[in-house]
Structure 1
Amino acid sequence: MNINQHWLTDITRTPSPNFDERSDPADISLLVIHCISLPPGEFDNHYIDRLFCNQLDPDDHPYFKDVYQLTVSAHLLIKRDGVCVQYVPFDKRAWHAGKSIYEGRERCNDFSIGIELEGTELVDYTDRQYVQLATVIRTLLETYPKLSTQRITGHSDIAPGRKTDPGASFDWQRLLGLLK
């Protein structure tokens, strides 16, 4: 796996309009792990792509009436089967963290890369997701010098009380073991 012009090579690209410029494109210094499923608890469909591209139809599911107007994105999604989809180039600011703080610094979107895992806080993530996540992170660590294994966090850690992902089902020790 490689990065070319801030896009992972040999994966699916589904460009999202939900990003803007970073104030300092060289300040990529945090990885934020999230989880998402649409509708909640359902996997292997096209609804995440549609949400991140502002194309979610509120009539497709009752839950969508509450979220279809959100303008959000992550840099990357890792599906249950390990397939990666990139929505925003890494040098741009994806809109994934919302109101957030890390080590006293607010607005984590300014300096982070957001990685979504298809899943929920209560369902175990798949072996393929862990292997692919570790591969992606190693590639990011090689490309962006301000990143490190000590600067990987969950959405719940930068938005406590507001967010709970990636949740109790995420095995941090397993990920760190794969990164050694």
Structure 2
Amino acid sequence: MRLILLGPPGAGKGTQSARLEQKYGIPQLSTGDMLRAAVKAGTPVGLQAKAVMDAGGLVSDDIVVGIIAARIEEADCAKGFILDGFPRTVAQAKSLDAMLKSKHKELDAVIELVVDDQILLSRIEGRARETVAAGGTVRADDNPDAFKKRLEQYHQLTAPVSDYYRSVGELRTVDGMAAIDAVTAEIDSVLGK
């Protein structure tokens, strides 16, 4: 089962990924984690990435897709994988598709968790208030202003990825505003088709 989970920050991708990992015995792949592991392991692609990062640059899509290409060949990906947080742009989606095609693999599903931005923002504000009331410190990503900026970035850069997958007939949408178990059931329904 090869999956991509799309949706804005706070949509529940991490929660649903964990459930999919457990149900299907497939890993959730984080490009950041893979990048750090490749650099640490000194793989050829990791060395390329390290050189770019050491120079203060952004790692290119080709390098990131190369890291994913190597990672999905590992034994724990034999039954599939979940990509959460990648692709972030249409160019990355096209590069990912080309890489998978070169390996004679294809995606089983691209699932977007559709949510209401205002309700997400209300949730984040509520979580911040509860944290302060309990005497805690609000995490940087639970700050409403920072969250608004992350949502804006998502809509500018990543939301077009949904349109791309819709245009090639691969996108399936799920109501991410439903209760967690209902979202899981809807994803299961999509995957069962």
Higher strand share: 1
Larger Rg belongs to: 2
Higher helix fraction: Structure 1 or Structure 2?
2
- Is the pair's TM-score, using the shorter chain for normalization, greater than 0.5? no
The TM-score, its normalising length taken from structure 1, stands at 0.29
TM-score by length of 2: 0.28
